[in-house]
Amino acid sequence: MQLLESLNWRYATKKFDNSKKIKDEDIKRIEEAIRLSASSYGFQPYTILRIENPQVCKQLQSISWNQSQILDASHLYVFCNYLEFTEEMIEEYVQRKSNMQNIPLDKLDGYKQFMKGKLKEKSKDEIPHWTAKQTYIALGNMLAACGELKIDSCPIEGFEPQEYDKVLGLNEKGLTATVVVAIGYHAEDDHNYNMKKVRKSINTLFKTI
């Protein structure tokens, strides 16, 4: 199983070689893997920013515990979840489903009303927690895709979300920063590179009921 080999290969890269860049064709493959991620109802209630502006990267590093990956990685991504999920978003999704699956809109009305009803069951505080969890499903696909391509990666939660929101103007767009991912190629002196992967055993992790 190629996936298992890739997952065994990948690790959280702490030091990137800033002279090495990922090829455009591989970036397209990684982004397509993210796009194809599963999400609740297929909504994909998030936006993913690819940060290419060096000045913005410098600003983000200062609010990311000054971690070197922010500047040295080939590419930097910020996963942002929606703070609210509106009925208008459901309407847009249903229209997209109708167009892409060639289903008349009226045939989807029952499904649309069901989704609206389930959405109303969530409190204002529950919505951002729900949308944030969806970003981590996409993150998993990204890490697996990078592993298959032998591209190093590091998911980063060590940052100040509220400051990210200010720098990237996220709140005005109804978004907030959830998780950051740096990808590229590790430096030869990255101390994590040859470390044995530490995971629970199968028998410890899984229990039969």
Type of residue at 174? G
Has residue 1 got a pLDDT over 90? no
pTM of the model: 0.96
Matching residue, tokens 């703070």: 83
Task: List pLDDT tens digits, range 69-107.
Answer: 999 999 999 999 999 999 999 999 999 999 999 999 999
- CA 27/CA 33 separation, integer angstroms: 10
- CA 168/CA 158 separation, integer angstroms: 17
Q: What pLDDT score does 41 carry?
A: 94
Report all structural domains of the chain as residue ranges with CATH numbers, in order of start.
2-83+127-201 (3.40.109.10), 85-123 (no CATH)
Task: List pLDDT tens digits, range 51-64.
Answer: 999 999 999 999 99
Percent of the chain with pLDDT over 70: 100
Q: What value does the mean pLDDT of the chain take?
A: 97
Question: Dihedral, CA atoms, 96, 99, 103, 107, nearest 10 degrees?
Answer: 50
Give the pLDDT mean for 34-59: 97
Residue 146 CB neighbour total at 10 angstroms:
25
Closest to 94 in 3D by CA, of 110, 86, 105? 105
Has residue 203 got a pLDDT over 90? yes
CA count, 13 A, side-chain hemisphere, 144: 15
Task: List pLDDT tens digits, range 145-158.
Answer: 999 999 999 999 99
